Amino acid sequence: MNTQEVKITYSGADPTAFGVLGLAMICFVASSAKLGFTNPKATALIVVWAALLGGIVQIMAANIDFKKGNVFGGTVLGAYGFFWVGMAFSIATMNGMFGPGMQAAVDPKMLGVVYVGYLIFSLFITVAAFEVNLPFILMLVLIDVLFFSLAAVTFKMGPVDVFAQLAGWSEFTISLVGFYASGAIFFKNFYGREILPLGKPWNIIKKADPIQTQKLKQAV
């Protein structure tokens, strides 16, 4: 069986710094409410920033990464981008934006199911992050902690107050690491060399040889 492979060559700039900035910014805003830096009950503006920075920016960057053949960047930014779009609509629904009927039909435990699902996904991505760089490793490990903590709070498992604080501080730290990663990647692309260290891949799981992979594709 012969298959025809069509490749789309993308000649534009690397969108990773832009996408990671979106993740960092929304985590910065959302954690400010969780930690009490801002009013935890005043969530209206979180809807806006979750949709724009958390959602649209990451999805735009993911689309470009997929065109470039960057599976890791496209998958991570796309998945978390749509997570924040979902969170924006969820918060808007709980705030009554779509009417009292929708607001009354909300079961908060469904968000707990979402957190568990994203935790499972994030654990897989964390394994791959060890083959990227240190900031991504830190961000993914912290994202795992965040989703676990959010699920525990939602389902009222264990010391809820402790998990709530853990969720807030892990999200806040994600934002700080994200700002650093965004700046480091931007500098690297702009200056053509590494200004802020990103660290090297750990090479725990070796990738397949690209030449051998291409031969296998041609043989199909």
User: What is the per-residue pLDDT for 60?
Assistant: 96
User: What is the per-residue pLDDT for 31?
Assistant: 96
- Alpha carbon distances (Å) from 137 to 62, 108, 201: 18, 30, 10
Q: Are 33 and 43 in contact (CB under 8 A)?
A: yes
User: What is the per-residue pLDDT for 132?
Assistant: 92
User: What is the per-residue pLDDT for 3?
Assistant: 46
Q: Are 56 and 81 in contact (CB under 8 A)?
A: yes
Mean pLDDT per block of 10 residues along the chain (220 residues) reads 52 88 96 94 91 95 94 95 95 90 90 96 96 95 97 94 96 98 96 93 79 55
User: What is the per-residue pLDDT for 12?
Assistant: 73
Measured in whole angstroms, the distance separating CA 47 from the mean position of its chain's CA atoms is: 17
Q: Determine the Cα–Cα distance for residues 58 and 73; give it in Å rounded to an integer.
A: 10
Q: Determine the Cα–Cα distance for residues 155 and 152; give it in Å rounded to an integer.
A: 5
Q: Determine the Cα–Cα distance for residues 178 and 190; give it in Å rounded to an integer.
A: 18
Q: Determine the Cα–Cα distance for residues 19 and 58; give it in Å rounded to an integer.
A: 5
Query: What DSSP designation does 209 have?
Result: P
